[in-house]
Amino acid sequence: MPKIGWAGLVPALDRASIVPLYRQLHEHLREAILAGTLPEATRRPPERTMALELGVNRRTVVRADRERVSDGLIEQRVVSGSRVISRPRVG
């Protein structure tokens, strides 16, 4: 299976939008997870790496992660990082 870059799935974030950057990031990645573009157990790169790739502050990535954890789309572990979980809870 080819490696899929999480940051590569996100179109340019619209800095002029009234929608916060973290929310735009969350929505783009949420759609990719639900569509299966990011399959189960796909690991997210480190926060700093992803922030650099996207050209955003690391806190933007952290806040978007919190949204996806809350939605039941990813899990976070101290040692292994964040990854897509097997059965997303949508609601």
Q: How do residues 2-55 score in pLDDT, each as one tens digit?
A: 444 666 777 788 999 999 999 999 998 898 888 888 888 888 888 898 899 889
What is the predicted pLDDT for the residue at 6?
Answer: 66
Average confidence (pLDDT) over 75-79 = 78
In total, the chain counts a number of residues equal to: 91
What crossing angle do the helices spanning 21-34 and 58-70 adopt, rounded to 10°? 50
What is the predicted pLDDT for the residue at 2?
Answer: 41
- pTM for the whole structure: 0.81
pLDDT at 1 over 70: no
- Please provide the DSSP assignment of the chain as one string: -----TGGGSPPP-TTSSS-HHHHHHHHHHHHHHTTSS-TTPBPPPHHHHHHHHTS-HHHHHHHHHHHHHTTSEEEETTTEEEE-SS----
